[in-house]
Amino acid sequence: MCEKCKEKFYITTPIYYPSAKLHIGHTYCTVATDAMARYKRLQGYDVMFLTGTDEHGQKIEDKAKDAGVTPQQFVDNIVEGPGGVLDLWKLMNISYDRFIRTTDDYHVAAIQKIFKKMYDNGDIYKGTYKGKYCKPCESFWTESQLVDGKCPDCGREVQDAEEEAYFFRLSKYAGRVQDLLENTDFLEPRSRVNEMVNNFIKPGLEDLCVSRTSFTWGVPVDFDPGHVVYVWIDALFNYMTALGFQNDKYQDLDKFWPADVHFVGKEIVRFHSIIWPAMLMSLNLPLPKKVYGHGWLLLDGGKMSKSKGNVVDPYILAERFGVDALRFFLLRSFPFGSDGNFSNELLINTINVDLANDLGNLVSRTVAMAQKYFGEHLPAQQAADEEKDAELVTMASSLRGKYEAEMEKYAFQNALAEVFKVISRANKYIDENAPWVLAKSEENKPRLARVLYNLLETVRICGGLLTPFMPDTAGEIARRLGGARMDWDSLGTFGVLDPQVAVVAGPALFPRIDVEKELAALEEMSKPPVPELEIEPYSDEKVDFDTFCKSDFRAVKVKDCKPVKKSDKLLCFTLDDGTGTDRQILSGIAKYYKPEELIGKTLVAITNLPPRKMMGRDSNGMLLSAVHTEKGEEKLNLIMISDTIPAGAKLC
C-alpha cells in the first residue's frame, strides 16, 4: 500500500475494570489486539489502537470504601501505580495509540451530552426500575433472564432493585439489531449470533435501565441530580469519545470512526452487539464494522477471577519466560474464538517445541553455518538445485498469502501454524542437504552457499511475519541477518535478501526450559505466602476475676534439667519453688532447648494444677512459655524472669 493511499484501521480492546490487578486473561485480549494492530501497521495501514480503563460503578465505590481511600485514589493506584495497568501494557510491549480513562474530564462531559441527546430525542425516558441487579457484573436483569435465579453471566446471587430511573428504548431497536446480527457479518464468530438472537432478542428485548441513584461514583446526569449514568453507557461510548465525539480533546472521529473491529470477551458480546448498535442507531451514527467475541482462558476448566483466587500473574510469567514467549504462547495455543485451557505445562512445552527447538534452532544453525563456512559473508557464486529447493522456496514464497488469509479472519493460531509449517520444512531442508557434508569439498561451495541463502531467506520471511506476535524477536532475527528487510512487500517475495548477506551470530533466542524443574518452581511460587508472624487468635471466652486469681503463679529456679528417656519431646525439671522441697515438672519443650542451658534460670510455673503422670513420672504444675508462628514454623520461648526474684515469689 502506498504512503499516500494509506487506509485507516481502528481497533479497540474492552476498557478494563481497575477493581483489581489485571491477570493473564486480560492480557490475552490486549496481546491479540496488539498483534492485529501491528499486523495492520506492517501492511501499511494507518492504525488507531485504543485501550483504556472503565473506572466508574458501584463495585469500585465499594472497594475504595473497603480500602479507606476515595474511588479516584483507588482507580489511580490500579491504573497508574506500580504494577498497574499502564505498567503491564508497557511490559507486554503493547503498542496502543491512545489510552482512555472514563474518569477523564473530556469523556465525562461528553457522556453527559450524549445522555441528554438521547433524552431529547425521546429514546431515554424516566420510569421506575423493578428488577434484579448483579453487583459484581454491574448488570440489570429481568426475572426471565436469570438462570436458576442467579446472574446468567457469573452465576452469583442477584439483588432486588427498585428505584426511579431512566430507561433507554432498547425494545424499539430489536428488529434492526436482529437484522444486523442475522444478515450481516457484524458479529463474529457466527456461533455467537445464535446465542444473542435466541437468548436475548427472541424472548423480547426490554427497555434498559440506564441510570442509578443508589450510589454516586459515576457520570452525573446533569439535568437530574442524584442520578448517575449506567456504567455500560459510559463505558461503550469510550470508543467514540476517545476520537473526539462530543469533545474537543481529539479530532480523529471523521478519520477513524466507524471502528473496524472491537475485540471483546464473550461475556460482554451482549453489550457490544445489542446495546451498543441500538444506542448508535438512536443517535443516527455509523455502526462499527465488526464485533469479535473471543473465548476465555480457563484455569482448571473455570474462568479466572480474583474472587476465586485462581488468577495467573502475567508479571511472573513474563519475568520467567520473556515477554515475546508469553505473547506468542497466548496466540499460538488457543483458537481466538473459543475457550482455551491455560496451564504452565502447556506454556513451557510450547516454548520448548516451537521456540527453542523449531524457530530457535533454525536461526542458530543457519547463522552459525553461514559464519563457519563462509566467514564474513556468503559468496556471490551460488548454485541452485531446482528439484531440491522447489518445495522450500514455494512454501516460503506463498507463506505471506496464507498467513494474511488467516490474519484477516483473526485466526492467529492458524496464521502461526502456517509460519511454523515453513519453519519445520526449513529444518528438514537442512537435514536433506547436509551442509556439513557439502562443506567438505571446495567444488560444492556454490551449492552450500545457495542452501544457506535459501535458509536465511526463509528465516527472514518467517521472522518478518512473526513481528506482530514477537516484535523484539523479529528485530533480533533481522539483526542477525545483517539488518534484513522485513517490510510487508519484501515478505511476499523470495529472494529479497542480499545474496552476499553478512550474518551476525548470537546466543540461543529461546533457551530450552527444564520442564520438571520449572513446573516445581512455579508450583512453589503459587503457594499462598506464609505469614511472617502469626499469633494465636485471642479468646472471646471470659474468665471471672475470682477464678483467675485461684491460679497460683510462682517464680521457680531450675536446679536440674534432663531429657526424658524414650521421649523426644519431654524435659524433666527439678525446681526450687521456695518451699525447701524440690518440685518436679515435665514440659514438652525438648525441641526448643538443650537441658543444660536452662539450669540456673528463673522461670514461671503455675503450681496448683492437679498432678499428672507423663512417661511414668509425676509432673506437679506447668511452666509458662510464649508461643507464636514465624514463617510457618512454631516458636516457643520459656518465660524467664529476673534472677533477682526469689524462688517461690507469687506472681499476680
Shortest separation between residue 168's beta carbon and ligand ME8, angstroms? 16
Q: In this complex, which beta carbon is closest to ligand ME8, that of residue 264 or of residue 570?
A: 264
Return the residue of 88, 118, 297, 363 that touches ligand ME8, per CB under 6 A. Answer: 297
Site string for ligand ME8, 242-281 (x = CB under 6 A): ----------------------xx-xx-------------
Dihedral, CA of residue 577, residue 579, residue 581 and residue 584, to nearest 10? -30
What part of residues 591-610 is at the interface with ligand ME8 (CB under 6 A)?
A: none
3-class SS of residue 71: helix
Least CB distance to ligand ME8 at residue 227 (A) = 20
DSSP 3-70: STTPPEEEEEPPPBPTTS---HHHHHHHHHHHHHHHHHHHHT-EEEEEEEE---SHHHHHHHHHHTS-
Please pick, from the candidates 28, 429, 469, 488, the single residue that binds ligand ME8 as defined by CB under 6 A. Answer: 28
Phi-psi region of 309 (alpha: psi -120 to 50; beta: other; left: phi over 0): left
DSSP 150: B
The interface region with ligand ME8, picked from 189-197, 297-305, 549-557, 616-624 by CB under 6 A, is 297-305
- Residue 25 touching ligand ME8 (CB under 6 A): yes
Three-state SS annotation for 178-235? HHHHHHCCCEECCHHHHHHHHHHHCCCCCCEECEECCCCCCCECCCCCCCEECHHHHH
Please give the grid coordinates belonging to residue 605: 510455673
Q: Is 227 in the site for ligand ME8 (CB under 6 A)?
A: no
Whole-number minimum distance, CB 490 to ligand ME8, in Å?
34
Q: Quick one: 268 or 348, whose CB is closer to ligand ME8?
A: 268
Work out which of 9, 16, 119, 292 binds ligand ME8, going by CB under 6 A: 16
**Residue whose entry in the numeric block shows the C-alpha cell 443516527:** 284
Residue 185, C-beta contacts closer than 8 angstroms, at least 6 positions apart = 290
Calculated CA dihedral for residues 85, 91, 97, 99, nearest 10 degrees: 10
- By beta carbon distance, the residue nearest ligand ME8 is 265
Task: Rule CB under 6 A: choose which of 14, 337, 463, 621 binds ligand ME8.
Answer: 14
To ligand ME8, the closest distance from the beta carbon of 596 in angstroms equals 60
Run of H or E residues at 93: none
- Stretch touching ligand ME8 by CB under 6 A, among 26-34, 392-400, 598-606, 617-625: 26-34
Assess 292 for contact with ligand ME8 (CB under 6 A): no
3-state SS string over 255-320? Answer: HHCCCCEEEEEHHHHHHHHHHHHHHHHHCCCCCCCCEEEECCEEECCEECCCCCCCCCCHHHHHHH
Using the minimum distance from each CB to ligand ME8, give the nearer residue, 88 or 474: 88
Strand partners, 52: 100
Binders of ligand ME8 among residues 298 to 357 (CB under 6 A) are 303-304
Question: What number of CA atoms fall less than 13 Å from residue 384's CA on the CB side?
Answer: 10
Cell for 564?
A: 526424658
- Identify which of residues 268 and 451 has a Cβ nearer to ligand ME8 in the complex: 268
Decide: is 54 part of the binding site for ligand ME8 (CB under 6 A). Answer: yes
> What is the Cα–Cα distance from 610 to 295, expressed in whole angstroms?
68
Report, in Å, the least distance between residue 24 CB and ligand ME8: 7
Judged by beta carbon, residue 46 or residue 339, the one nearer ligand ME8 is 339
195 touches ligand ME8 (CB under 6 A): no
Q: Is 39 in the site for ligand ME8 (CB under 6 A)?
A: no
Under the criterion CB under 6 A, does residue 15 sit at the interface with ligand ME8? yes
Cα 205–chain centre separation? 34
- In the bound state with ligand ME8, the residue whose beta carbon lies nearer, of 193 and 268, is 268
Please list, in sequence order, all residues whose beta carbon lies within 8 angstroms of the beta carbon of residue 282, skipping any fewer than 6 positions away. 118, 121, 123, 168, 169, 173
Cβ closer to ligand ME8: 110 or 235?
235
| Piece of the chain touching ligand ME8 by CB under 6 A; list 20-28, 280-288, 381-389, 515-523 | 20-28
In the bound complex, what is the minimum distance in angstroms from residue 534's beta carbon to ligand ME8?
A: 33
Residues that bind ligand ME8 (CB under 6 A): 14-17, 25-26, 28-29, 54, 235-236, 238, 264-265, 267-268, 296-297, 303-304
